[in-house]
């Protein structure tokens, strides 16, 4: 331990009174002096001794993280900063330093997230201006984006089938095939998405991205897999961007070709350097249904999502959109809208929770002859997510999610309830 000399309480001799007095300082203060002089290893030894006695001391962890960052040991620094946020989720200074380390590491997605949380704190305008410069730089420097999630997925209705055993067709009752009714099971869910966006000029980037999702159940008859991609230019401005993208996708259901589509999308993000970010898009795709060709047609979609960061540990978002699906025959064409909201909060002990209710309404253009009514669906979906940031292994943390869906339809065949659970890992937190 580093100790300063103690002041003697008894009167000092006259000769000793001319000597400079020594001031007592803590190990943390001594470590700060050593860090300022570039003596990182000596400072680290002092702090590690303190950490044995006080393993959750925020000041000690903060200084050790600063040393790790100075030595370019970014993963160690990230882990130490996150240990502080486990107990102090509203610490904007820690958020700011964590964001800076993510930026230095080149993990721009997590850097942006932490910078936005830090910006919502009680910090000077000069610091906010500096954060804005980082956010602008991220949008230009971010060349690669990659996210991965994997989960075990119990499901009470894996095929979104009805609970009823009978359905009336042309006015006559028919018994439903057991495979068409509600089926429960345990599946495996995976999602991998990424984007390469190199800077072409100071204000133009190229965007090339893709997404792969698969939900797999025992037996394979309800497996659901989608592969999608996009490419096009992105135009960068001071506080917003605009993209013109070509898009395409293929979907398989039950391991058989189901849907395919190709088209384009216009997308924009406004408020890059503020606490509110608004994302909006308009797209159109020519969708071909391989199982029922009469359902093929152009799908138009428009959506918007404002996100507002409330403080260094929480944010709220609103969502809304409209879809229009054309089809070869009127009973398969429909118009629909959806709207929802979401709230995310970092909690003590390392937990982060999110809740998101969403409402959907879909109305078809004409009656299906077999049922004699025009189909109209309404659905409520409620999702809940919980993860623990203190359980961090090489950039992955465990996550639990629950989704409840309740759909009502004028045609009972399309009414169902569903409870989906997922226990897995995520790389973005």
What is the token pair recorded at 358? 């969403």
- Do the first three CATH levels of 25-141 and 145-245+307-319+328-426 match, i.e. the same topology? no
By the 8 A CB rule, do 389 and 85 touch? yes
CATH no., domain 25-141: 1.25.40.10
Closest of 361, 276, 379 to residue 321, by C-alpha? 361
Q: Residue 178 burial by CB count (10 A; 0-12/13-18/19+): exposed, middle or buried?
A: exposed
Is residue 7's pLDDT more than 60?
no
- pLDDT, one tens digit per residue, over 91-103 is 999 999 999 999 9
What residues are paired with 55 via a beta bridge? none
Is residue 13's pLDDT more than 50?
no
Segments making up each domain of the chain, as ranges: 25-141, 145-245+307-319+328-426
Q: Give the Cβ contact number of residue 177 at 10 Å.
A: 8
- For tokens 């608004």, what's the residue? 278
Closest of 125, 69, 79, 121 to residue 96, by C-alpha? 121
Q: CA distances (Å), 58 to each of 78, 80, 115, 154, 181, in order?
A: 14, 9, 20, 39, 55
Q: How confident is the model at residue 4 (pLDDT cuts 50, 70, 90)?
A: very low
| Distance of alpha carbon 122 from alpha carbon 120, whole angstroms | 7
- pLDDT, one tens digit per residue, over 313-361 is 999 999 999 999 999 999 999 999 999 999 999 988 888 999 999 999 9
Is residue 201's pLDDT more than 50?
yes
Q: How confident is the model at residue 388 (pLDDT cuts 50, 70, 90)?
A: confident
> For the chain, how far is it from start to end, CA to CA, in angstroms?
37
Is residue 153's pLDDT more than 70?
yes
- pLDDT, one tens digit per residue, over 258-274 is 999 999 999 999 998 88
Question: What is the 3-state secondary structure of the chain?
Answer: CCCCCCCCCCCCCCCHHHCCCCCCCCHHHHHHHHHHCCCHHHHHHHHHHHHHHCCCCHHHHHHHHHHHHHCCCHHHHHHHHHHHHHHCCCCHHHHHHHHHHHHHHCCHHHHHHHHHHHHCCCCCHHHHHHHHHHHHHHHHHCCEEEEEEEEEEEECCCCCCCCCCEEEECCEEEECCHHHCCCCEEEEEEEEEEEECCECCCCEEEEEEEEEEEEEECCCCCCEEEEEEEEEEEEECCCEEEEEEEEEEEEEECCEEEEEEEEEEEEEEECCCCCEEEEEEEEEEEEEECCCHHHCEEEEEEEEEEEEEEECCEEEEEEEEEEEECCCCHHHCEEEEEEEEEEEEECHHHEEEEEEEEEEEEEEEEECCCCCCEEEEEEEEEEEEEEECCCCECCEEEEEEEEEEEEEECCHHHCEEEEEEEEEEECCC
- pLDDT, one tens digit per residue, over 392-413 is 777 788 899 999 999 999 988 8
pLDDT at 183: 80
Fold held by 145-245+307-319+328-426: Porin (2.40.160)
| Distance of alpha carbon 117 from alpha carbon 310, whole angstroms | 8
Q: How many residues does the chain have?
A: 429
Q: Give the Cβ contact number of residue 154 at 10 Å.
A: 16
């Amino acid at each position: 331990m580093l100790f300063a000399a103690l002041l003697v309480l008894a009167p000092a001799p006259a000769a000793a009174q001319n000597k400079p007095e020594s001031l007592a300082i803590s190990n943390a203060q001594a470590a700060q002096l050593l860090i300022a002089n570039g003596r990182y290893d000596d400072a680290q030894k002092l702090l590690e001794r303190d950490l044995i006695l006080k393993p959750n001391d925020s000041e000690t962890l903060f200084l050790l993280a600063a040393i790790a960052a100075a030595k370019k040991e970014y993963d160690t620094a990230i882990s130490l900063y996150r240990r502080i946020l486990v107990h102090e989720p509203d610490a904007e200074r820690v958020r700011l330093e964590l964001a800076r380390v993510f930026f230095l590491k080149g993990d721009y997605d997590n850097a942006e997230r932490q910078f936005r949380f830090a910006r919502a704190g009680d910090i000077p305008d000069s610091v906010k201006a500096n954060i804005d410069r980082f956010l602008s730089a991220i949008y230009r420097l971010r060349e690669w984006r990659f996210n991965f999630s994997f989960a075990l997925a119990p499901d009470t209705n894996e095929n979104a089938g009805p609970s009823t055993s009978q359905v009336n067709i042309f006015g006559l009752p028919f018994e439903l095939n057991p495979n068409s009714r509600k089926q429960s099971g345990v599946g495996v869910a995976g999602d991998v998405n990424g984007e390469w966006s190199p800077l072409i000029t100071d204000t133009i980037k190229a965007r090339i991205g893709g997404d792969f999702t698969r939900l797999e159940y025992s037996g394979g008859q309800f497996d659901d897999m989608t592969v999608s991609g996009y490419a096009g230019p992105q135009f960068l401005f001071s506080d917003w961007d605009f993209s013109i993208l070509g898009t395409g996708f293929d979907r398989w259901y039950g391991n058989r070709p189901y849907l395919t589509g190709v088209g384009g999308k216009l997308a924009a993000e406004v408020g890059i350097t503020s606490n509110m970010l608004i994302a909006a898009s308009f797209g159109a795709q020519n969708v071909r249904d391989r199982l029922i060709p009469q359902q093929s047609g152009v799908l138009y979609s428009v959506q918007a999502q404002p996100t507002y960061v409330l403080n260094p540990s929480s944010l709220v978002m609103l969502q809304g959109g409209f879809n229009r699906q054309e089809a070869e025959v009127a009973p398969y064409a429909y118009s629909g809208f959806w709207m929802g909201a979401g709230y995310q909060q970092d909690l003590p002990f390392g937990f982060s929770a999110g809740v998101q209710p969403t409402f959907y309404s879909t109305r078809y253009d004409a009656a299906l002859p077999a049922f004699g009514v025009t189909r109209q669906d309404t659905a409520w979906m409620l999702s809940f997510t919980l993860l623990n940031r203190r359980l961090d292994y090489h950039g992955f943390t465990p996550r639990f999610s629950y989704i409840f869906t309740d759909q009502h339809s004028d045609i009972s065949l399309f009414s169902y309830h569903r409870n989906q659970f997922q226990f897995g890992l995520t790389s973005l937190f």
